[in-house]
DNA sequence: TAACTAACTAACATGTTTGTTCGTACCACA
DNA sequence: TGTGGTACGAACAAACATGTTAGTTAGTTA
């Protein structure tokens, strides 16, 4: 991933925070496009080009960065088919599958909360 | 909060993403110290100085920024007591209280996932 | 009038994330 | 030999988040 300055307060604090399981979980799904991608992949195995097509507003750099990060964090599996042209498919890991219902709860909460906030601010 | 450049791709994309309730929810709890603060406040009304003492490694600037942001997003309530010296107490809103059990699920998931990842990477 | 406390606030510096543009590897097929 | 498609990667720039330091307000007490 991006090279990090191990000595910075920023990075030290991040490590500190990630000791908290809750923060760790949020950290793992916190990248800008991760939830969108997870949501798409959960609905069916997707190849790189599918994602690229569906999310044309995500730059290819971000797309690969987020996918790689999720792969490293054990959320998705990357399957390479040595065809020509090459084919790469992404699937959820069991761990990510367990996460989905929690995300659904978050989604419901978010919807309610947004409505509440809309009312009075 | 920090002034934002309304025209940047960064900001445009953020708005785009926040239309997703899931992303909105994660966005609302996604600040670096928010979960820690929520967790403390949920265990009992806390005054500013309590938080400052407990989290001595959080700079005062960050402390106030995160608190203010959570207040704006309807997660906490800020009560000012016009005593001398002044006293400010923070409490969870009902919405945040509903969020807590979801965060607990996330925490459990995080713990399991961290263990899994520790095993094979 | 000066010192003291709580709870901030402003200005600036650093570091990280995200976005933009261009280029690469691989093999097939014309 | 050149073109085409897929799935990336590298270098750079812009914007944002976080961290550091010093200062502010209001009232009270010495």
What are the Cα distances from residue A52, in Å, to A46, A58, A80, B71?
10, 7, 17, 37
Residue A114 has pLDDT above 90, yes or no: yes
B76-81: strand order across its sheet: B46-47, B87-92, B76-81
Q: How confident is the model at residue B6 (pLDDT cuts 50, 70, 90)?
A: confident
Give chain D positions with protein CB within 7 A: 4-11, 14-22, 26-28
Q: For tokens 């997003």, name the residue.
A: B73
Instruction: Name the interface residues of A facing B (CB cutoff 8 Å).
Output: 13-14, 16-17, 20-26, 28-30, 32-33, 35-36, 39, 57, 72-74, 95, 98-99, 102-103, 105-114, 116-117, 121
pLDDT per position as a tens digit, B57-113 = 999 999 999 999 999 999 999 999 988 889 999 999 999 999 999 999 999 999 999
Residue A119 has pLDDT above 80, yes or no: no
Residues of A in contact with B98 (CB under 8 A): 109, 112
Q: Determine the Cα–Cα distance for residues B77 and A120; give it in Å rounded to an integer.
A: 14
Q: Is-contact B61 A46, C-beta < 8 A? A: no
ipTM more than 0.90?
yes
Q: How confident is the model at residue A29 (pLDDT cuts 50, 70, 90)?
A: very high
CA of B6 to C1' of D4 (A): 40
- Going from the N-terminus, what domains does chain B have, and what CATH number goes with each? 31-116 (1.10.10.10)
Query: Which residue on chain B is closest to A103 by alpha carbon?
Result: B22
Q: How confident is the model at residue A5 (pLDDT cuts 50, 70, 90)?
A: confident
Give the angle subtended at the CA of A93 by the CAs of A19 and B99, to the nearest 5°.
Answer: 50
What are the Cα distances from residue B81, in Å, to A23, A61, B44, B84?
32, 50, 17, 9
Q: What pLDDT, on a 0 to 100 scale, did the predictor assign at position A21?
A: 97
Q: What pLDDT, on a 0 to 100 scale, did the predictor assign at position A83?
A: 85
Q: What pLDDT, on a 0 to 100 scale, did the predictor assign at position A1?
A: 64
**How much is the mean pLDDT over chain A?**
94
CA of B70 to C1' of D7 (A): 41
Residue B24 has pLDDT above 70, yes or no: yes
Lowest mean pLDDT among A38-47, A80-89, A112-121, B85-94: A112-121
Residues of B in contact with A33 (CB under 8 A): 17
pLDDT per position as a tens digit, A47-83 = 999 999 999 999 999 999 999 999 999 999 999 998 8
């Amino acid at each position: 991933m991006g090279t990090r300055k191990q000595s910075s307060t920023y990075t030290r604090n991040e490590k500190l925070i990630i000791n908290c399981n809750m923060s760790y979980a949020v950290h793992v799904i916190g990248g800008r496009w991760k939830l969108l991608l997870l949501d798409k992949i959960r609905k069916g195995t997707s190849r790189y080009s599918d994602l690229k097509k569906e999310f044309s507003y995500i730059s290819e750099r971000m797309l690969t960065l987020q996918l790689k990060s999720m792969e490293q964090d054990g959320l998705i599996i990357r399957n390479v088919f040595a065809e020509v042209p090459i084919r790469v498919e992404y699937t959820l890991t069991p761990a990510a599958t367990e996460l989905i219902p929690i995300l659904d709860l978050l989604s419901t909460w978010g919807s309610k909360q947004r409505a509440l906030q809309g009312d009075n601010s």
